[in-house]
Amino acid sequence: MTTMTEKTRRPSAAGERGPRFVIEEGSGAHWAVRVAVPLVVLLLLLAGAGLEPFRVGQLTSVLIFAIAISGLNLATGYTGLLSIGHSAFFGLGAYTTGVLIVKYEVEPLLTLPVAVVICFALGFLVGLPALRIRGLYLALVTLAVGVAFPEIVRRFADLTGGAAGMVIRSRQLAPPEWTGLRLGDRGVFLYWVSAILLVLTLLLVRNLTRSRTGIAMIATRDNELAAAASGVRIASVKTLVFGLSGAITGLAGGLFAMYVGALSPDGSFTLLKSIELITGLFLGGVATLYGPVAGALAVVFVPYWTSDVVSGHVSGILFGAVLILIVFLMPEGVVGRLERTARGIVRIVPRTHPSPTPKPDGSGDSMERDQA
């Protein structure tokens, strides 16, 4: 049986053309694609780890921001809960890691689960107002959380360092002994930790959005009243998603604390960080699995490229112009446009099972008649 066929390009009733190639699930071509994609990702990660330390640091930043944007994507992209205060989750995760390392001498990797749990609790609490309000009113609530976070950090100066910030010493961020890596390999170690956690995050998002909970999330986003009438527990969906969203973004914040080694409430945890995450989400593609990765690449590398072309305030203007151009040309995001183009070329369809061949004595026909 042919596993990959070329379809006749016949225009449909709407004037659209079907995909040129169709791949059946479970076929040889399908398994080849499923094996090739992880291999390509692994090769890209290996190539990135072999670059100079500065480039490895840039890629680590991309991986961390991709995790943070994936958390925002769960709430805003898949569930329609607009959040402008995800910088609070990012900052809470970072300060949880920083405080545990500096004040209590906890291993950096062991602080990440604690940051995830604490940020999940905060996300759950922030999701409670979403049971009564939605849209711009919910955005204002999350905005208040994002504005309040730096002020709370300043109030607890004995724990967080206040406005002066907190510094994590390099020796406290050294790779664990079981890795066999030295202090000078801290950048490569964090690169691989971030890469592994990003892969796990994408797998979690993929499985979640394809489950019954994911269907409930999308139904809540598209039509909340219809979803409730269909039996979807809107309250459970919203609070759970906000909790998971905050936990994932908090995980990225913990990695960010290990990456920069210095925390300040006025540095990376203001509303500008929330705007940066939202920008990456819409540039990469809302409600797409790999959109956060493309968005993180854009928000990290585009400013570097524009600053290389021009200097000073003009680079900021050029950066804004590039963002406007991307949104104008690809309103569905970079990954959204790529997926749309790919669907016009290749489509993966469920495998079709051939109907039973009737036997010469007619027993096959009689069996079909009996089943009818």
Per-residue pLDDT at 352 exceeds 90: no
> Using DSSP, how many helices (H) and how many strands (E) does the chain show?
15, 5
Angstrom distances, CA of residue 55 to CA of 193, 253, 335: 16, 20, 23
- How far is residue 333's CA from residue 202's CA, in Å, rounded to a whole number? 18
Delineate the domains of the chain, giving CATH numbers in brackets: 19-352 (1.10.3470)
Q: pLDDT of 41-84, one tens digit each?
A: 999 999 999 999 999 999 999 999 999 999 999 999 999 999 99
Q: Kindly report which listed range (91-100, 118-127, 158-167, 308-317) carries the lowest average pLDDT score.
A: 308-317
pLDDT for 354 equals 58
Round to whole Å and give the CA distance between 357 and 366: 12
Q: Mind listing the pLDDT tens digit for each residue in 161-175? A: 998 899 999 999 999
CA gap 65, 281 in Å, rounded: 10
Instruction: Please write the tens of the pLDDT for every residue from 267-287.
Output: 889 999 999 999 999 999 999
pTM value is 0.89
Q: Tell me which DSSP letter residue 112 carries.
A: H
Q: What is the mean pLDDT of residues 201-215?
A: 95
Q: For residue 22, give the H/E element and its range.
A: strand 21-24
Cα–Cα distance measured from residue 216 to residue 231, given in angstroms and rounded to the nearest whole number: 9
Average confidence (pLDDT) over 198-223: 95
pLDDT tens by residue, 130-153: 888 888 888 899 999 999 999 999
In 3-state terms, the chain is what percent helix, strand and coil (to 5)? 70, 5, 25
Smallest Cα–Cα separation from 63: which of 36, 45, 42? 45
Q: What is the pLDDT of residue 76?
A: 95
